[in-house]
Structure 1
Amino acid sequence: MSRPSTPFVLGRGEVARRPTSAPAASVSSVVPPRAQVDIVRTAQRELRNPDEYVREISRLWREAQQSFLAIGRYLVQAKRKLAHGEFQRMVDASLPFGRQTAYELRMIAEAVDGGRIPEPKLPQAASVAYQLATLKPDDLAAADQEGLVRPDLRRPEIITWKRERLRRSAGANHESLTRRRVRLAEIIRRHEEELEKARRELAELDETIGAKVINGEVEEQN
């Protein structure tokens, strides 16, 4: 004989089973409508196979992405509309995260709404989305071309890519500086040769006309 299933109720931050001895009650009669929605969204179900776990976890992950983007947009709006100093006081005193997190979420929202990162391609983790949002335009374009601007991008991947790009950029910059140094050395060498030639010619002229040049003026020798 199978045991009857027991309904779930929301406990303190987790889902708990309602005691079987307690009389059944309609959720709608004891829980406000908004709380009913929260129960539906947070209640755990017994899943049966990897596909179901992937599907459910991915759904919740997408909702998390939508949440951090919406929070970032509200932060952008608040910073724009609140009086000077009021925004920072609100972040410091009243929000459940600090200045750095608020800054990162704003940068993400501005990158999306500014057209730098298409919303459908925004990474699903805020920390990863921030890594893209703070790239320079040329770097972001390169990341997109190389397939890194996508929802399933992971933090180790973008960090490794940034380090490699910095290394390549430093190498290219070193080569450019080396070529510039060679060109400047060649310019100096040519001018030194011309200067030495001019000095020899000047000395020959001095001997020919019996004069010497002092401070740009010709002084006749006795």
Structure 2
Amino acid sequence: MAVDPKERWGARKAASRRASILTIAHEDVETPRTTVYKLSNETEVVREVEVLWETAQRAFLAIGRLLVQAERQFRGSFEKDIISRLPFNRSVAHMLRTVAEKVEQGYVPEAELPRSYAAAFRLVTLEPEALEEARSRGLVSPHTPRSAIERFRQELKSQRIAASGEAALLAVKRRDLLSRLERAKREVEKLSQELAELDSLEASQDHS
């Protein structure tokens, strides 16, 4: 069905009049248009972006709900015949399912989810006490970016380490140093290999 270019995409309309509908797990999700029309002012630009952003949130939650439903219905073949054929990896599928399950359980209301599945996942996997602390700081909100949640989680981790005493701090520092040393070793191996290849190339040119 043709869509009037002047019609505002994303406006609430009866389903029969919507230009493009994606039904996922019994939920209608409007698919975003790809054509950008000229906008009249800055406020309209912001409003259009907000509509698209909200649509993206509804899509990731609907996909998560579909995967939760599919896992229950096709438990024996879910991993092999569904997850392995999705356009994203198992990690993303796990995050989407987890967010949908937490919303289903009432752990975090849908209206309070961040509008990024990665941010939402990091939020809903907080322990109950940490979630309440995040809520008190205004982090349980659609407007919360992943970076803010990551900073909050890092702060909690630092607090736990500090509470464990000096031995825990030294253990964390040791693990960090070992990790950096391992990365340095891999870099040295890579550079040594490149140097050997360069020496081999120069030797072959000398004999030519």
After TM superposition, is the score higher than 0.5? yes
C-alpha displacement at 1:48, in angstroms? 2.3
C-alpha deviation, 1:62, in angstroms: 0.3
- Determine if the alignment matches structure 1 residue 49 to structure 2 residue 41: yes
Q: Deviations over 1:8-33 (max 9, x none)?
A: 7xxxxxxxxxxxxxxxxxxxxxxxx9
Q: Output the CA distance in 2 between the equivalents of 1:40 and 1:159.
A: 30
Counterpart pick for 2:20 among 34, 37, 58: 37
Q: How many Å apart are 1:90 and its aligned residue?
A: 2.7
Q: Residue 153 of structure 1 aligns to a residue in which SS?
A: coil
Report which stretch shifted further, 91-100 or 50-59.
91-100
For the pair shown, the structure with the greater C-alpha radius of gyration is 1
1:82 aligned partner = 74
Q: 1:168 aligns with which of 149, 159, 162?
A: 159
Hey, what does 1:72 align to over in structure 2? 64
Report the identity percentage: 37
Unaligned runs of 5+ in 1: 1-6, 9-32, 178-222
Once the two structures are superposed, the pairs formed by residues 1-222 of structure 1 within 5 Å of their partners are: 36-37=19-20, 41-42=32-33, 43-84=35-76, 86-174=77-165
1:40 Cα shift?
A: 8.9
Choose 58-67 or 130-139, whichever is displaced more: 130-139
Cα drift, residue 129 of structure 1: 0.4
CA positional deviation for 1:93:
3.9
In the TM superposition, structure 1's runs of 4+ consecutive aligned residues that sit over 3 Å from their partners are 33-36, 38-41
Q: Is the 8 A contact 1:91 1:99 kept in 2?
A: no
* 5+ residue gaps, structure 2: 6-15, 22-29, 169-208
Q: Which has the higher contact order (CA 8 A, sep 6+)?
A: 2
Alignment check: 8 A CA contact 2:98 2:121 kept: yes
Q: TM-score, normalised to structure 2's length?
A: 0.63
